[in-house]
């Protein structure tokens, strides 16, 4: 429970037992002697967001995770240019106005977190990328990759005009896309025995395979990629970078 009058921050999502954010910010507050709290708010539906804000008068900011990064947008008063372009939000700044009302401003820090964590690993071979999944996080990944001049192809379980299906993935397509990013929750704790359904034997040592999942540290997706020679990276650095960027937004 939050302490009265202490600045409060938090995370909203549906299931948060796996969450990195509360541990990260609690450690940050202790190390930097910041008098604040960070709480998890598990919401059965995103419509409960207004109740959370109304019942916590010192709440200054929220992170947003699966499955609410897109559906939260109609509840917000304003979007940053980047969040508007991506149409996904993972940070909400809560501005308390003099009349007692609040203004909710949506931001997206997943972009900078992903971009800056993958940038040092990229080479001239990495001209094309496949993004596995089409949820809110995938849109930030797409935005970051295009900013790095990398061509993007979405892959999804269902076919639409912007994505091919896993069954469409031939060996040649996999070989041609040297960056593969898993933005789905497949393999996330506690369901750690799952991974995207693709032919991992088509991978080579020139492939860079990135999983936004960070718990477990090495998912089934990353294990399969590494077994076929690919370079691998999980999402923990991305989370750290986006969390620090969240803090700057809340306190700017």
pLDDT band for position 159 (cuts 50, 70, 90): confident
- Is 69 catalytic? The answer is yes
Q: Give 71-94 pLDDT, tens digit per residue.
A: 999 999 999 999 999 999 999 999
Cα–Cα dist 127/80, whole Å: 29
Predicted local distance difference test score (pLDDT) of residue 20: 85
Catalytic residue among 69, 93, 178, 233: 69
CA geometry: angle 68, 70, 72, nearest 5 deg? 60
User: Is this prediction's pTM over 0.85?
Assistant: yes
Over 60: is that where the pLDDT of 95 sits?
A: yes
Phi, psi angle pair for 64, to nearest 5°: -130, 130
User: Which residues, including other chains, have CB under 8 Å from residue 182's CB and lie 6 or more apart?
Assistant: 132, 133, 195, 196, 209, 210, 211, 212, 213, 219, 221
DSSP string over 160-185: BTTEEEGGG--HHHHHH--EEEE-S-
pLDDT band for position 5 (cuts 50, 70, 90): confident
The average pLDDT across 122-128 equals 97
Predicted local distance difference test score (pLDDT) of residue 73: 98
């Amino acid at each position: 429970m939050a302490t009265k009058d202490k600045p409060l921050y938090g995370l909203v999502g549906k299931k948060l037992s796996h969450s990195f954010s509360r541990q990260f910010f609690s450690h940050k507050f202790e190390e930097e002697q910041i008098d604040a709290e960070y709480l998890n708010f598990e919401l059965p539906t995103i419509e409960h967001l207004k109740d959370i804000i109304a019942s916590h008068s010192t709440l200054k900011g929220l992170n947003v995770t699966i499955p609410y990064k897109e559906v939260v947008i109609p509840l917000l008063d304003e979007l940053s240019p980047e969040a508007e372009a991506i149409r996904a939000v993972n940070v909400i700044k809560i501005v308390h106005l003099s009349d007692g009302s609040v203004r909710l401003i949506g931001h997206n820090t997943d972009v900078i977190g992903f971009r800056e964590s993958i940038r040092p690993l990229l080479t001239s071979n990495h001209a094309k990328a496949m993004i596995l999944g089409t949820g809110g996080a995938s849109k930030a990944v797409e935005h970051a990759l295009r900013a790095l001049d990398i061509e993007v192809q979405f892959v999804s379980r269902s076919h639409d005009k912007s994505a091919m299906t896993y069954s469409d993935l031939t060996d040649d397509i996999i070989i041609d896309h040297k960056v593969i990013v898993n933005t789905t929750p497949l393999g996330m704790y506690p369901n750690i025995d799952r991974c995207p359904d693709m032919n991992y034997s088509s991978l080579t040592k020139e492939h860079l395979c990135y999983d936004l999942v960070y718990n477990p540290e090495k998912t089934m997706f990353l294990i399969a990629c590494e077994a076929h020679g690919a370079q691998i990276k999980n999402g923990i650095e991305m989370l750290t970078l986006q969390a620090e960027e969240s803090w700057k937004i809340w306190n700017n």
